[in-house]
Chains A and B, each alone.
Chain A
Amino acid sequence: MAEAADQITALREVSAVRPRGLWVDAWRRLKRNKMAIAGAIYILIMALIAIFADVLAPHNPNAIDPTAAPNTPPFWVAGHNPQYLLGTDSLARDELSRLIYGARVSLIVGFVPVFIVTAIGVTVGMTSGWLGGRADNIIMRIVDVVYAFPALLFYIVVQSAFRDSKIGDIFGGLLLLFIAFAITDWVSMARLVRGEVLRLKNREFVEAAKALGVPTRRILIRHILPNSLAPIIVSIAFGVPSYILAESSLSYLGLGVKPQTPTWGSMVYDSFPQVTYAPEFVLMPSILIALIMLAFTFLGDGLRDALDPYMGK
């Protein structure tokens, strides 16, 4: 009996809202997911903080103030310095400014590798899936072998090798990180896209396009790619926090960005020696890392649920 009532309600819901195409429906479903919206808002706030860091930060994040004492506690602890709201770190740099600028670097570290990896992965995946046969086989073998390489080990070895060289100096150590990430991580995106291409390759609309004489590249870009965007978008949403995490972990090991570049991960590394008597300096960047990852995870979950056409059947 309950089943029947459920079905009637579902029917009413469906008929009340006419489906209007994947994107509009997906957007509507996404809007209903409160956690995803909360995540998106948080990310937006962090992005604004990152963009306007120069205006928002009270001090230069790398300026060592000779007059201030290192490890001044934040404002809720006695003995604080009102000039430095969240205290100073072990090198007498303003914590608050570092956290604000840290948002900028952390977000860059999250987004840029994702786009590089997506570009490479989509290209390789589409080529491999479309060509099929021998070429596909060879490419997939390469993918399998690269996939088997333990990523963290690779990052560690690359970072330790080149961090002190010229490449390691560009963008305060960020370029090297991007290269390291790009070399290993394009494979899962390639696999994903290839799967989508295989799924769509034999559909009628592709056959029709081919019959009409549409050139291959156009078919791929105008027809197949838009139809495979859903898993790519979800991949991007989950990819950003994974790179923030990877950078934090590497910085925590002392193998991340260069010391002048403030990221939340390197701030944890810097403050770790004082963890027993001044844990706030470890906690503050750690909490920020956790929160941004939380936001992206909620958003990614929401996107995946919204874009999956079989949800809520």
Chain B
Amino acid sequence: MLRFIVNRLLWMIPVLWLVGTVTFFLMHAAPGSPWDVRVGGKNISPELEKSFNRKYGLDKPLVVQYLIYWRNVLKLDFGQSYSNESQTVVQRIMAGFPYSARIGLYAWVMALVLGISLGIIAALKQNTWIDYVSLFFATVGYTIPSFVLGIFLLIIFAVKLGWVPVLFAGWKSYILPSVALGLSTAAFIARLTRASVLEIIRQDYIRTARAKGLPPRIINLRHIVRNALIPVVTISGPALASLITGTIIIENVFNVPGMGYLFIQSISARDYPVIMGTTLFYTFFIVIGNLLVDLTYGLVDPRIKTS
């Protein structure tokens, strides 16, 4: 078990290195400089640009900058933000992280709870109207893009009904983004759970349990649900990853001051340190998330030995 964890953690190093390298060179390939924003978008005078570049070491050759960046990273120094000089990259990320994390977490919990229960109910009541309605909702929820759903929800609940504020303020503002983000994952999980439960019900060991006279609830809980969850755990890795990156778009729709918003902002402002920082952070998060999922998989399915 420990070896597995260490193996995966070591694996993270080349991944982060690749992501960082690709991002570094791509972002420097983008036209425009970080200083265009400073002077209100007008063309900056060459002397001013040169002095800014010198101050931040941008006048050095690209490869040198690349090496300097990684040397600093190894010292855990991710640099200062260009757009917001008073803050370091880490500070800006940490400022936005709680919002993104909350939305992601709520979305994930909702996706699991709603998806699994809907899937189980639909499967147990197969071919009844409950099943068809759930399937319908699941398919619709799965195919609507999250930002479309977000816009719809925003229009209905914030603009027309006024139940939640339009701009981001207070705890109520977490509801819509979480729902918009999590619903497609919930729908996916529901469909998957339903298919999985259906397959399990036909298995011989369930028939044995019924023949033994076990009360239905025990059968349901201990046998069916436990085995049905295995495929759900399997897809949890990519599902979590898509939720994490999905916050980027959702935060844009709902104006949430989170990490995704920061990422988009830093891209257009050419705030190189922040771009690098957020990208690395996202990747790190996704890798850790996948690791946790794989560990859970080992717990849920006793046939798998993670060593």
Within residues 215 to 246 of chain A, which ones have a CB less than 8 A from any CB in chain B? 241, 245
In the bound complex, CA of A157 to CA of B278 (Å): 12
A290-B142 in contact (CB<8A): no
Docked CA distance A252–B142 (Å): 19
**Complex CA–CA separation, A298 to B136 (angstroms):** 11
Contacting residues, chain B, for A156 (C-beta < 8 A): 248, 263-264, 267
Residues from chain A with Cβ under 8 Å of B118 in the complex: none
- Separation of A275 and B275 alpha carbons in the complex (Å): 30
Digitize B10-36: 1 where CB-to-A-CB distance is under 8 Å, 0 elsewhere. 010011001100110011011100000
Residue from B15, B148, B151, B268 in contact with A145 in the complex, judged by beta carbons closer than 8 Å: B15
Q: How many residues of A contact B (CB 8 A)?
A: 39
A282 proximal to B (CB < 8 A) = yes
- Check B51 for interface membership: any CB of A closer than 8 A: no
CB-CB < 8 A to B106: which residues of A? none
Residues A157 and B155 in contact in the complex (CB < 8 Å), given A148-B283, A149-B22, A290-B148: no
B26 touching A157, Cβ below 8 Å: yes
Whether the pair B249, A253 counts as a contact (CB closer than 8 A) is yes
* Residue of B29, B151, B282 touching A161 (CB-CB under 8 A): B29
Q: Chain A residues near B244: list those with CB within 8 A.
A: 150
- B interface, how many residues as a size bin? 35 or more
Q: Provide the bound-state CA to CA distance between A154 and B267, in Å.
A: 12
Contact of A252 among B15, B27, B249 (CB under 8 A): B249
- Is the beta-carbon distance between A293 and B245 smaller than 8 angstroms? no
B267–A249 touching, CB < 8 Å: no
Is B62 in the interface zone, CB < 8 Å from A?
no
Residues on A with C-beta less than 8 A from B145 are 245, 248-249, 286, 289-290, 293
User: Which residues of B (126-179) have their CB < 8 Å from a CB of A?
Assistant: 139-140, 142-148, 151-152, 154-155, 159
Q: Are the C-beta atoms of B279 and A293 separated by less than 8 Å?
A: no
Q: Does A10 contact B (CB under 8 A)?
A: no
Q: By the criterion CB–CB under 8 Å, are B245 and A150 in contact?
A: yes
- Residue of chain B at shortest CB distance from A162: B29
Closest to A241 in B: B143
* Inter-subunit contact B26/A150 (CB<8 Å): no
Interface string of B269-302 (1 = CB under 8 A from A): 0000001000100110011001000000000000
Given contacts A148-B286, A149-B18, contact A157 B143 (CB under 8 A): no
Check A161 against B283 for contact (C-beta < 8 Å): no
- Smallest Cβ distance from B133 to chain A, in angstroms? 14
- Least distance between A55 CB and chain B CB atoms (Å): 29
Q: Is the CB of A153 within 8 A of B249?
A: no
Most buried by A among B22, B142, B263: B22
Q: Which residues of B contact A145 (CB under 8 A)?
A: 14-15, 18
Whether a CB of chain A sits under 8 angstroms from the CB of B252 is yes
Q: A148-B283, A275-B151 are in contact. List 16 more A-B contacts (CB 8 A).
A: A144-B11, A149-B15, A150-B286, A152-B248, A153-B263, A153-B279, A160-B27, A161-B27, A165-B31, A241-B143, A248-B145, A249-B146, A275-B154, A294-B140, A296-B143, A297-B142
Q: Which A residues form the contact surface with B (CB < 8 A)?
A: 144-146, 148-154, 156-158, 160-162, 164-165, 241, 245, 248-249, 252-253, 268, 272, 275-276, 279, 282-283, 286, 289-290, 293-294, 296-298
Chain B positions within 8 Å of A, measured between CB atoms, are 11, 14-15, 18-19, 22-23, 26-27, 29-31, 139-140, 142-148, 151-152, 154-155, 159, 241, 244-246, 248-249, 252, 263-264, 267-268, 275, 279, 282-283, 286-287, 290
What 8 pairs between A and B have smallest CB-CB spacing? A293-B143, A161-B30, A286-B148, A152-B245, A294-B143, A148-B15, A161-B29, A290-B144
